[in-house]
Amino acid sequence: MRVVIDVPVRINVGPIHPSTHGVLRLVVDVEGDKIENMEAHIGFLHRGVEKLLENRMYMQACPYMEKLDYFAPMSYDELYVAAVEQAYGVEIKEKAMYVRTILLELQRIASHLASIGFLCNDIGQLFTAFMWSFKDRDMVLKLLEAATGTRMFYVNMRIGGLVRDLPPGFEDSTIELLDYLSKRIPMYEKYLEKNPVFMERNKGIGIISRDDAKNLGITGPVLRGSGVSYDIRKNKPYYVYEKLNFRTQVRNEGDNFARYKVRMLELRESIRIVREALKKMPSEGSAVGMPIRLIGPPVKNKITITERELPRGECMIYLVADPQRPYRAYIRSANFINLSAIEEMCKGQRFADLFSIIGGLDMVIADVDR
Amino acid sequence: MLIGSSYSLISTFNSWLSSGNILLNIAALIAYGIFISIILSVYDYLFGWAERKIIAKVQLRHGPTYVGKFGILQNLADVIKLLAKEHIVPDTADKFLYAIGLPAMMAISVLLVLVLPFSPYLQATNLTLGLLFVLVLLSFMPLFMFVSAYSTGNKFADISAQRSVLMMLSYELPMLIVFASVALLSKGFNISGIISAQSTTWFVWLMPIGFIVFFVTMLAELERPPFDFLEADSELIAGWLTDYSAPYYALSLFLDYTRMLFGSLIMAILFFGGWSGPFLPPIIWLLIKAVIISLFIIIIRTTLVRMRIDRMLKFGWVWMLPLSLVNLIITYMVFIH
């Protein structure tokens, strides 16, 4: 026979649940439909990537890094390779910088498109927007496949450049795709923002104030949705971002809708960046980097810190380089730190809003657990 | 020829039913039962398939393709799979309530379809207060849903059970008032009477506000999106069905479509003139109308985001209830007074 349930009711959401974006466990105390208290439990997908990096030669670690964030694998790969390049002290070819910028922005487009689909799925819009946005994402992935050879996990970076040059005809097909996407993005906005229920489910939900967001160390679209104009691409520019003309998109509301809207605006900015980078890219020269080396940088305990603006926020690698293999590699994952805001966001919200908040944070649990 | 033979069948059925012979009466009722089961199973099966296909089309997918032509046998394969699976009753469940909850709901929804007339001659009974009977049966639905949710002892099902009560509070009253205005317009609760009252004009033209209110409340009654709070799969896993496995889950799928059939039929009867229409036999007209309404219900599922349960209550009391009252008053002032 059943037990009498106390108030508030404690519910385990996850680790197996349709909309926790992986294996996140949330212990939620609800009173009626209101969330009284919430606690996030992580670690179900912990693979010890940081330790694995210490036991691999430098370029052997790239595939591990890619699997951290499976919606933006190339961004993580690039982050790691950039850290190793810093340890080596290698200059990157100019053409390679442009190619990397283009590929990274395409990756950002793919990731943001996926996040829109997930948000809609989480608030109960049974797979329609999800399938549409994934179709568009797939077109971006096809382009990346043409450039790198694989569809999802590219392992396309080498020290000083890339594995291969861009294929012939890449520019034309990219511009064609960007034209298509710039027509699709307003369509999504029209479809979602003219839907009163979508607005109701996102406006004023999961508010995090500017100060709280700063204090918690949140980054990425979540921070920019709270009114802080902070973007590594702008504030500590790398590659050719200085030479390109784009804006940091900021919304002041700090709610779920602001985060969604920032992603929508960033899609447009990314399209702009890719267009401009394609125009400014030097036509001659090669982007191919060094072949894979077995021997690491000839340094002892050289500490490098590399920061990059990934689709989900600022990620950083703290690398203590040794010859042969890294002595220590610490990964600051944006998702992990963004997740710390979820308790603040959920307090006092309805149970159903918990899932729109998770969707708005755009979690990838593999990245949280590392 | 088919129509002719079906007519002769129906007249035989009628003569059996009206004859004083009790054996013939029972035979007629059994024949009607078989007829209803055929309609139910064909509709349930085809719509189970059609919903998959239509939603797949909207979502740029293919839907089922492998089993049978156009994947038409996919649902059969699914049901066979579900029946072959182990039926797990959770330890926390109240065994008796767990066992009767879903079958009771299925019985009620079959009874609901049974009460409705399919043509002037093809009906199980012609109750004087048919509409009232439908309403009584409808109000049993959330009760048994609550029972079956509560009996599993699952916390997600518990939330679902609480939500079902909240839902009932928000949509039942507006729906009742629309029923009342329909009865007012047709001067009686007899369902056949309602249909014959629409022989000149469909009620949907006479009370469009009432129809909108009824459609929305019916969506809530059927738990179709955007009001699918009880099965909200992204929130409550499967809500009240979370702990129902194998055969019970298959039953719940049938239940879903049976309820949808009832919803479309009652909408066709109350607002779209029921079986009335030229050329074709009445039952075909009724089914055509019901199928169009069902397709509309399915397409709504592909586009709308789920509402939030607390908004639903507000929506019901701030919008639906006043609108239904306005509809009642207009109906009284314009058509009766």
3-class SS of residue B210: helix
Distance CA A354, CA A38 (A): 10
Taking residues A160-174, what's their average pLDDT? Answer: 87
pLDDT score for B11: 67
Neighbour tally for A229: CB within 10 Å: 12
Which residues are within 8 A (CB) of B91 and not within 5 positions of it... i.e. 6 or more apart? none
ipTM of the prediction: 0.75
Please report the sign of the dihedral spanned by the C-alpha atoms of residue A38, residue A42, residue A44, residue A45: positive
Number of A–B residue contacts, CB under 8 Å: 96
Q: Would the pLDDT of B54 be above 70?
A: yes
φ, ψ dihedrals at B41, nearest 5°? -70, -40
- Chain-chain contact of A33 with B309 (C-beta, under 8 angstroms): yes
Q: What is the CA radius of gyration of chain A?
A: 21
Taking residues B12-33, what's their average pLDDT? Answer: 75
Query: How far is Cα of residue A268 from the mean position of the Cα atoms in its chain?
Result: 16
Asked whether A274 and A105 are in contact (CB, 8 A), the reply is yes
pLDDT score for B165: 84
Give me the residue from B153, B159, B302 closest to A2, CB to CB: B153
Of these ranges, A204-218, A277-291, B114-128, the one predicted with the greatest mean pLDDT is A204-218
At residue A111 the predicted structure's pLDDT band, cuts being 50, 70 and 90, is: very high
pLDDT score for A179: 92
Q: Is the previous residue joined to A298 through a cis bond, with omega within 30 degrees of 0?
A: no
Amino acid present at A146: A
Task: Sort out which chain B residues have CB atoms less than 8 A from A197's CB and list them.
Answer: 226, 304-307
pLDDT score for A299: 79
Q: Which two tokens stand for residue A352?
A: 């159903």
Distance CA B249, CA B242 (A): 9
Asked whether B306 and A124 are in contact (CB, 8 A), the reply is yes
**Measured in Å, how far apart are chain A's first and last C-alpha atoms?**
41
What would the pLDDT profile of B247-288 be if each residue is shown by its tens digit?
A: 888 888 888 899 999 999 999 988 888 787 788 777 888 888
Distance CA A97, CA A103 (A): 10
- Chain-chain contact of B304 with A195 (C-beta, under 8 angstroms): yes
pLDDT score for A1: 43
What would the pLDDT profile of B182-227 be if each residue is shown by its tens digit?
A: 888 888 888 888 888 888 888 888 888 889 999 999 888 888 888 8
- Chain-chain contact of B158 with A9 (C-beta, under 8 angstroms): yes
Q: Would the pLDDT of B5 be above 70?
A: no
Distance CA A314, CA A236 (A): 11
CA distance B271 to chain A (A): 27
For chain A, percent of residues with pLDDT exceeding 70: 98
Taking residues A58-84, what's their average pLDDT? Answer: 88
Taking residues B109-114, what's their average pLDDT? Answer: 86
3-class SS of residue A31: strand
pLDDT score for B8: 67
Asked whether A66 and A155 are in contact (CB, 8 A), the reply is yes
Q: Range of A300's domain? A: 48-349
Q: What is the CA radius of gyration of chain B?
A: 21
pLDDT score for B7: 61
pLDDT score for A20: 73
Give the sheet arrangement for strand A313-321, strand by strand.
Answer: A302-310, A313-321, A328-332
Q: Would the pLDDT of A246 be above 70?
A: yes
Owner of token pair 């959770």: B90
* Higher-pLDDT residue of B21, A52: A52
3-state helix, strand, coil in chain B (%, to 5): 75, 0, 25
Task: Sort out which chain B residues have CB atoms less than 8 A from A11's CB and list them.
Answer: 155-156, 159
Q: Is the previous residue joined to A8 through a cis bond, with omega within 30 degrees of 0?
A: yes
If one counts the domains in chain A, the total is 1
Amino acid present at B316: G
What would the pLDDT profile of A3-39 be if each residue is shown by its tens digit?
A: 555 677 888 887 888 777 778 888 888 887 788 888 8
Q: Where are the domains of chain B?
A: 90-336
Q: Would the pLDDT of B98 be above 60?
A: yes
φ, ψ dihedrals at A51, nearest 5°? -70, -35
Mean pLDDT estimate for chain B: 84
Q: Which stretch of DSSP H or E encloses residue A261? A: helix A256-280
Task: Sort out which chain B residues have CB atoms less than 8 A from A120's CB and list them.
Answer: 305
Lowest mean pLDDT among A17-26, A59-68, A247-256: A17-26
User: Which DSSP string do the residues of B61-91 spell out, in sequence order?
Assistant: -----SSSGGGTTHHHHHHHHHHHS--PPPT
A332: exposed, middle or buried (Cβ count in 10 Å: 0-12, 13-18, 19+): middle
Distance CA B261, CA B110 (A): 10
Task: Sort out which chain A residues have CB atoms less than 8 A from B237's CB and list them.
Answer: 17-18
Q: Burial letters for A144-161: b for 16+ Cβ neighbours within 10 Å, e otherwise? A: beebbeeeeebbbbbbbb
The CATH number given to whatever domain includes residue A218 is 1.10.645.10
pLDDT score for A265: 92
Asked whether A153 and A77 are in contact (CB, 8 A), the reply is no
* Higher-pLDDT residue of A294, A191: A191
- Chain-chain contact of B158 with A121 (C-beta, under 8 angstroms): no
Task: Sort out which chain B residues have CB atoms less than 8 A from A128's CB and list them.
Answer: 55, 58-59, 302-303
Amino acid present at A234: K
A343: exposed, middle or buried (Cβ count in 10 Å: 0-12, 13-18, 19+): middle
- Chain-chain contact of B55 with A121 (C-beta, under 8 angstroms): no
pLDDT score for A110: 92
CA distance B91 to chain A (A): 8
Q: Would the pLDDT of A266 be above 60?
A: yes
Distance CA B215, CA A31 (A): 32
Give me the residue from B158, B301, B308 closest to A352, CB to CB: B308
Query: Which residue of B lies nearest to A12 if distances are taken between CA atoms?
Result: B155
pLDDT score for B3: 58
Taking residues A187-210, what's their average pLDDT? Answer: 87
pLDDT score for B292: 92
